[in-house]
Amino acid sequence: MSVRTTMADLITRVRELIGDPVIAGTPSTSTYTDQQIQDALDAHRTQVRNAPLRPLQTANTSGTVTWLDWFAPRGGWEASPVLTDTSWAVLTPSASDCLAGEWTFSTTQTSVLISGQCFDLYGAAIDMLYLVLQSKAAEFDFAADGQSFSRSQQMAGVRALIDAYRVKVRAPAIRIIQGGSDTW
């Protein structure tokens, strides 16, 4: 399997969450490959089909209401969702933020449905942090020449991140949501 280009923003965000950045576009500066992170994300995927987005109404100075901005109940979308109206006509937003789950249209819309994949970034980050713990398990504290080196502090920090992210995890992973519900 190869890394999907539509996953780039999600992979970058998980890298930020686990402290494994790619520096100056050089992948060799990171510990984990894009494929490893994509695999962790795929384990925390929700497949969505024709689910309604929520509008944010805007009133202009004359009182005319428009619905240009539409939001998903959750973010973390792969950069390839299909947006349609209720007659199944494909809609093209003028701006989008798939990480946040926000889409803006240049003309008012009365309904917007979304189909695609969204991901639990914190669940994927926890999976990756467990790999970090495994890699550090063989490290130990030691003292030499009057200096003390406490590598166990790194493990404590990683465990603290896992605990902090655990409260943000969505449940359950890998599920399918069909249209008709805006509480997914």
**Mean predicted confidence (pLDDT) in 136-164:** 77
Lowest-confidence pick of 37-51, 52-66, 139-153, 155-169? 139-153
pLDDT tops 90 at residue 72: yes
Give the model's pLDDT for residue 100: 96
Secondary structure string (H, E, C) spanning the chain: CCCCHHHHHHHHHHHHHHCCCCECCEHHHCCCCHHHHHHHHHCCEEEEEEEECEEEEEECCCCCEEEEEEECCCCCECCCCEEECCCCCEECCCEEECCCCEEECCCCCCCCEEEEEEECHHHHHHHHHHHHHHHHCCCCCEEECCEEECCHHHHHHHHHHHHHHHCCCCCCCCEEEECCCCCC
User: Above 90 in pLDDT, residue 119?
Assistant: yes
Work out the pLDDT band at 3, boundaries 50, 70, 90.
very high
Query: Has residue 154 got a pLDDT over 70?
Result: yes
Q: What mean pLDDT is predicted for residues 52-57?
A: 94
Each residue's pLDDT tens digit, 77-88:
999 999 999 999
What is the pLDDT, as a whole number, of residue 23?
A: 75
Cα(129)–Cα(142) distance, integer angstroms: 24
At residue 155 the predicted structure's pLDDT band, cuts being 50, 70 and 90, is confident
Mean predicted lDDT score pLDDT of the chain: 88
Name which of 47-56, 130-139, 154-163 the model is least confident about: 130-139
CA distance linking residue 176 with residue 168, whole number of Å: 20
More confident residue, 128 or 180: 128
User: CA 118 to CA 176: how far, in whole Å?
Assistant: 10
CA distance 88 to 22: 40
The pLDDT value recorded for residue 27 is 63
- Under 8 Å CB-to-CB from 150, ≥6 apart: which residues? 141
Q: With a cut of 90, say whether residue 112 has pLDDT above it.
A: yes
Q: Which residues contact residue 61 at a Cβ distance below 8 angstroms, ignoring those fewer than 6 apart?
A: none
- CB neighbour list of residue 144: distance below 8 Å, 6 or more residues apart: none
For 64-87, what is the mean pLDDT? 95
pLDDT digits 0-9 by tens, 157-181: 888 989 999 999 886 555 666 666 5
